[in-house]
């Protein structure tokens, strides 16, 4: 007997099928199947042949491949009993419950007292399928590995794209050819990490940003994860995601993976990106004030660092407001005796030396300028030079002789007393001051991966959010060290990178757009001489790159020339005029014919307007720009396309391309097939094109 289940999102169908009561396997995942497709037939057709040297029955690549059935690759579950002996589970069906959007499958291993539950939730609007695996045991067991529902990777694919990175260099796409064996990515630092953003895209033959088929995965967990992409000797390919191996350190009777978000696209990598962007913005993030536009930020970190002086901060706030800022975020340095990064973390009390009358005078000044006020915390951290450490040395996570990171240690967030203390301190500050924003930092890795730590952090965030529902939170971890749908379920913005170098940022945010929408992605105009790259870039590039995402400033506004201030005000004005539709627009990465150009198109949901950012990140090899093909437009519609910053064409651009003097009116087909011919420009510049359908 065959059990079959299908999950549809309108843009994809996923078919599961099982022999008798066994765990099911994915027998189809791709473009939508007809409603009357014979799923049992697909199951029969899916069976692969057996030849010499193989078992007489081919082990299924099931939702949780079982070692007990001689599965030849990584099993989906690795378990030990209380004495440390391996438990080889073998599951059979107990229950299957399906609604229009949900599927819940329960399996039991009676001999070992285990239940395995796999759930699927399909979203017909975002086209994301969310799946998760849970394990219940009658007796406490040790979990070494539990995979979220295991999925096959396509055969018609040559490479996989996963994501590497580093501090100031987040979201680097790593292309790896498929070959026999395992590609394993693991974040063992207790954060999703700069080094291993938990995402994977498997493009099929010939897929580009704008066309072809692709499959995509994101594991929504902030505590460190493992990804396994394995090609078995028989040629099948499996994708597994779970918490970093061994990060559940205690024997327990219940375990669960984080949600795994998956989708199939027939419109290139952009189809996957748009699904993730929409799902994150419209389903995962909860917005305290959904109808209020994203405010332009000012963050004082790179202007003053720890040197907080009230008159200076007031002056900076006044200038930031004049440039267009709407929210002032007071960064590190306001509490304890925090004059540098050696001291005071966890002493969340306003420093009376710097703020003798508390924060109120600064906040009142900021409010008087029409801005709201945000404050920096790094709740999970502690310095040994702090009153809290002197009172509670036992609150630290890990060994006393562990290596420090930025001179700091980590608080053990699994301890209720630690969470209670942090809640009390943060709640007191939020109660005593009109604060609408927290920048929540996390600047060092954990001494070891520990899922309980992440659960503790989530619990603290959840409690604060219940009691202070109007406060927005930004997730920062030395820039983009903690970006994932788990933390974004509790926050509204990510500090994508500590690099405010606009050229680096152009690339980072381009690649991050495979997962992140504009609305959550912070991007700031930094100091003229970038503090992390030493590079000096023109204000136009710096401002427009920030305007590609949730815009902000982070330089000392006192350094701006009149010209720089004018350019920044103009671009900020443009952003404010357009943010109402940019907030819900899709970011589409363009297939630039010139590798020197990093280009994207932000397309309104109704396709009635778009903006294209074409950044020239290097000197081109050819003389004049290659036409830039747009995407996602209505081929029959006519669009008026205008170069927003055409006044920036340099003197060396001596010709008369239409866009230098006027607008181009053309069909979507022309714009997508031939592309837009831009004027010549220097490298390190960006063209901004706006289009509207007529």
How far is it, in rounded angstroms, from Cα 60 to Cα 75?
A: 11
Q: Which is nearer to ligand DGJ, 407 or 620 (CB)?
A: 407
Shortest distance (Å) from residue 524 CB to ligand DGJ: 9
Shortest distance (Å) from residue 512 CB to ligand DGJ: 15
Q: Which is nearer to ligand DGJ, 329 or 514 (CB)?
A: 329
How far is it, in rounded angstroms, from Cα 76 to Cα 67?
A: 8
Phi, psi of 284 (to 5 degrees): -90, -55
The residue assigned the tokens 């209380």 is: 82
How far is it, in rounded angstroms, from Cα 222 to Cα 484?
A: 6
Q: Is the dihedral of CA 448, 454, 460, 464 positive or negative?
A: positive
How far is it, in rounded angstroms, from Cα 214 to Cα 680?
A: 34
Q: Which is nearer to ligand DGJ, 512 or 659 (CB)?
A: 512
For 648, the token pair is 């920036």
Greatest C-alpha distance within the chain:
82
Strand partners, 117: 106, 134
Q: Which is nearer to ligand DGJ, 299 or 578 (CB)?
A: 299
Give the residue among 691, 686, 663 at the shortest CA–CA distance from 578.
691
Cα Rg for the chain, rounded, in angstroms? 26
| Residue 81 annotated among the catalytic residues of the structure | no
Shortest distance (Å) from residue 378 CB to ligand DGJ: 7
How far is it, in rounded angstroms, from Cα 525 to Cα 539?
A: 8
Instruction: Find the distance separating the first CA and the last CA of the chain, reported in whole Å.
Output: 58
- Which residue number places its CB atom closest to ligand DGJ? 332
Q: Which is nearer to ligand DGJ, 241 or 301 (CB)?
A: 301
- Integer angstrom CA distances of residue 198 from 224, 240, 492: 8, 12, 19
Give the residue among 259, 256, 9, 270 at the shortest CA–CA distance from 128.
9
Shortest distance (Å) from residue 522 CB to ligand DGJ: 10
Q: Which is nearer to ligand DGJ, 378 or 564 (CB)?
A: 378
Phi, psi of 456 (to 5 degrees): -65, -45
For 156, the token pair is 């018609």
Shortest distance (Å) from residue 406 CB to ligand DGJ: 8
CB 334 within 8 A of CB 354: yes
How far is it, in rounded angstroms, from Cα 623 to Cα 252?
A: 65
Cβ neighbours for 534, distance < 8 A, ≥ 6 positions apart: none
Phi, psi of 86 (to 5 degrees): -60, 145
Shortest distance (Å) from residue 464 CB to ligand DGJ: 19
Shortest distance (Å) from residue 466 CB to ligand DGJ: 25
Return the exposure string of 543-562: e unless at least 16 CB atoms fall within 10 Å of the residue's CB, then b.
Answer: bbbbbbbbbbbbbbbeebee
Cβ neighbours for 200, distance < 8 A, ≥ 6 positions apart: 160, 161, 162, 163, 216, 217, 218, 227, 229, 239
- Write down the catalytic residue from 436, 498, 586, 684: 498
CB 274 within 8 A of CB 219: no
DSSP label of 311: H
The residue assigned the tokens 């295991």 is: 150
Centre a 10 Å sphere on the Cβ of residue 632 and count the other Cβ atoms it contains: 18
Q: Which is nearer to ligand DGJ, 151 or 409 (CB)?
A: 409
How far is it, in rounded angstroms, from Cα 621 to Cα 349?
A: 56
How far is it, in rounded angstroms, from Cα 501 to Cα 452?
A: 36
Shortest distance (Å) from residue 497 CB to ligand DGJ: 8
Q: Which is nearer to ligand DGJ, 552 or 615 (CB)?
A: 552
Q: Which is nearer to ligand DGJ, 481 or 691 (CB)?
A: 481
- Write down the catalytic residue from 441, 501, 556, 684: 441
Stated as kind and residue range, the H or E segment containing 464 is: helix 451-467
How far is it, in rounded angstroms, from Cα 492 to Cα 113?
A: 41
Shortest distance (Å) from residue 443 CB to ligand DGJ: 5
Shortest distance (Å) from residue 385 CB to ligand DGJ: 15
How far is it, in rounded angstroms, from Cα 343 to Cα 176?
A: 43
The SS3 call for residue 234 is: coil
CB 261 within 8 A of CB 272: no
Q: Which is nearer to ligand DGJ, 192 or 592 (CB)?
A: 192
Q: Which is nearer to ligand DGJ, 28 or 376 (CB)?
A: 376
Cβ neighbours for 612, distance < 8 A, ≥ 6 positions apart: 590, 599, 600, 601, 602, 628, 630, 676, 687, 688, 689, 690, 691
Q: Which is nearer to ligand DGJ, 479 or 679 (CB)?
A: 479
> By the criterion CB under 6 A, which residues form the site for ligand DGJ?
301, 331-332, 376, 441, 443, 476, 478-479, 495, 498
Shortest distance (Å) from residue 433 CB to ligand DGJ: 19
Shortest distance (Å) from residue 300 CB to ligand DGJ: 10
| Residue 498 annotated among the catalytic residues of the structure | yes
CA angle 210, 211, 212 (to 5 degrees): 145
How far is it, in rounded angstroms, from Cα 514 to Cα 272?
A: 7
Stated as kind and residue range, the H or E segment containing 614 is: strand 609-616
Shortest distance (Å) from residue 391 CB to ligand DGJ: 23
Q: Which is nearer to ligand DGJ, 89 or 317 (CB)?
A: 317
For 692, the token pair is 């509207």
Catalytic residues: 441, 498
């Amino acid at each position: 007997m065959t059990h079959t289940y299908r999950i549809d999102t309108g843009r994809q169908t996923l078919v599961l099928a099982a022999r008798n009561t066994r765990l099911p396997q994915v027998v189809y995942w791709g473009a939508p199947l007809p409603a009357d497709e014979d799923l049992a037939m697909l199951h029969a057709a899916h069976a692969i042949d057996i030849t010499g040297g193989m078992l007489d029955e081919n082990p299924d690549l099931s939702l949780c491949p079982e070692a007990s059935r001689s599965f030849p690759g990584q099993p989906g579950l690795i378990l030990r009993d209380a004495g440390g002996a391996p438990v080889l589970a073998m599951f059979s069906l107990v229950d299957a419950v399906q609604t229009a959007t949900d599927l819940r499958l329960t399996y039991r291993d009676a001999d070992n007292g285990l239940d395995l539950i796999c759930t699927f939730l399909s979203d017909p609007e975002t086209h994301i399928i969310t799946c998760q695996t849970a394990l219940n045991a009658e007796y406490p067991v040790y979990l070494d590995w539990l995979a979220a529902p295991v999925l096959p990777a396509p055969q018609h694919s040559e490479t996989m794209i996963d994501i590497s990175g580093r501090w100031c260099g987040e979201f680097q796409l790593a292309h790896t050819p498929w070959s026999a064996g395992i590609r394993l990515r693991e974040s063992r630092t207790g954060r999703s990490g700069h080094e291993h953003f938990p995402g994977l895209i498997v493009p099929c033959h010939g897929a580009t940003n704008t066309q072809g088929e692709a499959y995509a995965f994101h594991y929504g967990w902030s505590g460190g994860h493992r990804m396994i992409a394995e090609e078995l000797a028989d040629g099948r390919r499996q994708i597994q995601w779970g918490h970093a191996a061994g990060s559940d350190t205690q024997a327990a009777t219940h375990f669960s993976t984080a949600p795994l978000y998956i989708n199939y696209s027939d419109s290139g990598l952009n189809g996957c990106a748009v699904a993730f962007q929409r799902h994150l913005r419209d389903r995962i993030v909860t917005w305290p004030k959904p109808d209020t536009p994203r405010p332009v930020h000012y963050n004082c970190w790179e202007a003053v660092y720890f040197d907080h002086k009230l008159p200076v901060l007031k002056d900076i706030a006044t200038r930031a407001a004049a440039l267009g800022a709407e929210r002032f975020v007071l960064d590190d340095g306001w509490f304890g005796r925090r004059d540098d990064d050696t001291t005071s973390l966890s002493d969340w009390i306003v420093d009376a030396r710097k703020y003798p009358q508390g924060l109120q005078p600064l906040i009142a000044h900021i409010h008087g300028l029409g801005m709201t006020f945000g404050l920096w915390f790094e709740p999970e951290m502690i310095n040994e030079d702090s009153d809290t450490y002197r009172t509670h040395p036992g609150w630290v996570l890990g060994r006393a002789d562990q290596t420090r990171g930025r001179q700091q240690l980590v608080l053990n967030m699994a301890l209720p007393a630690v969470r209670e203390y942090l809640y009390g301190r943060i709640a007191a500050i939020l109660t005593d001051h009109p604060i609408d924003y927290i920048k929540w930092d996390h600047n060092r890795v954990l001494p070891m991966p520990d899922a309980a730590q992440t659960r503790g952090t989530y619990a603290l965030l959840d409690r604060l959010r219940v009691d202070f529902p109007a406060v927005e939170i930004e997730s920062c971890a030395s820039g983009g060290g903690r970006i994932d749908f788990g933390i974004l379920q509790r926050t509204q913005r990510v500090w994508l990178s500590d690099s405010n170098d606009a050229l680096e940022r152009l690339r980072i945010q381009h690649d991050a757009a495979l997962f992140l929408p504009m609305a959550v992605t912070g991007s700031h105009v930094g100091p003229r001489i970038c503090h992390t790259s030493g590079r000096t870039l023109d204000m136009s590039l710096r401002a427009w790159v920030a305007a590609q995402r949730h815009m902000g400033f982070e330089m000392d506004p006192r350094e701006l020339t009149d010209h720089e201030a004018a350019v920044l005000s103009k671009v900020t004005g443009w952003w404010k005029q357009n943010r109402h539709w940019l907030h819900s627009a899709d970011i589409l990465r363009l297939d630039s014919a010139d590798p020197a150009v990093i280009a994207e198109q932000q397309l309104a949901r109704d396709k009635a307007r778009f903006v294209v950012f074409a950044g020239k990140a290097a000197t081109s090899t050819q003389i004049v720009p290659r036409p830039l093909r747009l995407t996602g437009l209505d081929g029959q519609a006519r669009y008026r396309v205008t170069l927003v910053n055409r006044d920036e064409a340099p003197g060396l651009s001596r010709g008369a391309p239409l866009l230098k003097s006027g607008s181009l009116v053309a069909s979507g087909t022309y714009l997508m097939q031939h592309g837009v011919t831009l004027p010549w420009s220097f490298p390190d510049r960006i063209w901004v094109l706006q289009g509207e359908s007529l």
